[in-house]
């Protein structure tokens, strides 16, 4: 299953707008033997799946996304309350690097591994828990965390409503633009991280004007990636992706929602200023 999200770009899956199907899928229009609850278009049979399997449904994606995000929240809470001050920086960096490494493994795996998705969620939770605690301390108000969570939920909801109401079509050109923009943004952040290791500050990851600019760009790109993720789920259900692929969709949505939350939190903190 191919995600339009650049983190999950897989050659073995359906590419929105490219007319490709899952490996072994029945020709479009042929009825699969499984039930289908999608958009009314004919379901597809995944011929290579075991006989007992069934295509993924929207409910599968919702449940698995809720589980994955639940692990992120739980790990963040544990990191917030239990990691001692002396280990904050090492744990923060470890969570970030482990989450990144696992994300890369999941991105290039033909078959998604639910255990790795959970491990990614736990590592991401550690990163978010420590990072959120630092920002809450910087502004002198832990309530900013609740504000950022609510803003993330509202933004995601409005994005979904816009995607459905205006029937946004994810074209290859749109996908290419978002992918290039996202990879370019990620490249700048990577360079900034490497420079910071040598004591060179660019302000990109800071809490000043440059940090605000890049946080706003990051939030905007996250919204565009959400649109790609929604299309990923819709196309996956429509084309009869295997049930296990719901974990890949859940991973894609988690990556984007975490990214959106982190940038919104930074925007709120920078606009409020330090205590």
Q: Note the pLDDT tens digit of each residue in 23-39.
A: 333 333 333 332 223 33
**DSSP string across 58-94:** HHHHHHHHHHHHHHHHHHHHHHHHHS-GGGHHHHHHH
Q: Please state the rounded mean pLDDT for residues 203-210.
A: 86
Most confident of 105-109, 119-123, 164-168: 119-123
Q: Which of 125, 88, 131, 175 is nearest to 264 (CA)?
A: 131
What pLDDT, in 10s, does the model give residues 52-77?
Answer: 468 999 999 999 999 999 999 999 99
Q: Which of 189, 258, 266 is nearest to 225 (CA)?
A: 258
Residues in Cβ contact with 61 at an 8 Å cutoff, skipping those fewer than 6 apart = 233, 236, 237, 246, 249, 250, 253
- Could you tell me how far CA 253 lies from the centroid of its own chain? 4
Confidence at residue 104, expressed as pLDDT on a 0 to 100 scale: 87
């Amino acid at each position: 299953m191919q995600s339009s999200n650049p983190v999950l770009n897989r050659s073995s899956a359906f590419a929105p707008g490219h007319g490709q199907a899952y490996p072994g899928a029945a020709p479009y229009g042929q009825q699969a033997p499984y039930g289908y609850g999608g958009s009314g278009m004919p379901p597809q049979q995944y011929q290579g799946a075991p006989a007992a399997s069934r295509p993924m449904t929207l409910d599968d994606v919702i449940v698995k996304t809720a589980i994955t995000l639940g692990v992120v929240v739980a790990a963040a809470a544990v990191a917030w309350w239990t990691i001692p001050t002396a280990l904050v920086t090492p744990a923060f960096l470890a969570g970030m690097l482990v989450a990144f490494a696992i994300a890369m493994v999941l991105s290039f795996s033909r078959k998604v591994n639910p255990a790795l998705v959970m491990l990614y969620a736990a590592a991401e939770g550690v990163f978010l828990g420590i990072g959120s605690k630092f920002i809450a301390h910087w502004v002198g108000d832990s309530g900013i965390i609740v504000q950022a969570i609510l803003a993330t939920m509202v933004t995601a909801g409005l994005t979904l409503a816009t995607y459905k109401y205006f029937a946004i079509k994810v074209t290859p050109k749109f996908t290419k633009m978002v992918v290039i923009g996202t990879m370019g943004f990620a490249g700048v952040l990577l360079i900034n991280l490497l420079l910071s290791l040598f004591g060179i500050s660019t302000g990109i990851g800071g809490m000043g004007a440059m940090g605000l600019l890049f946080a706003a760009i990051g939030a905007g790109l996250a919204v565009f990636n959400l649109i790609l993720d929604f299309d990923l789920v819709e196309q996956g259900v429509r084309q009869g992706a295997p049930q296990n692929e719901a974990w890949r969709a859940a991973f894609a949505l988690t990556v984007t929602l975490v990214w959106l939350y982190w940038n919104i939190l930074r925007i709120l903190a920078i606009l409020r200023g330090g205590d």
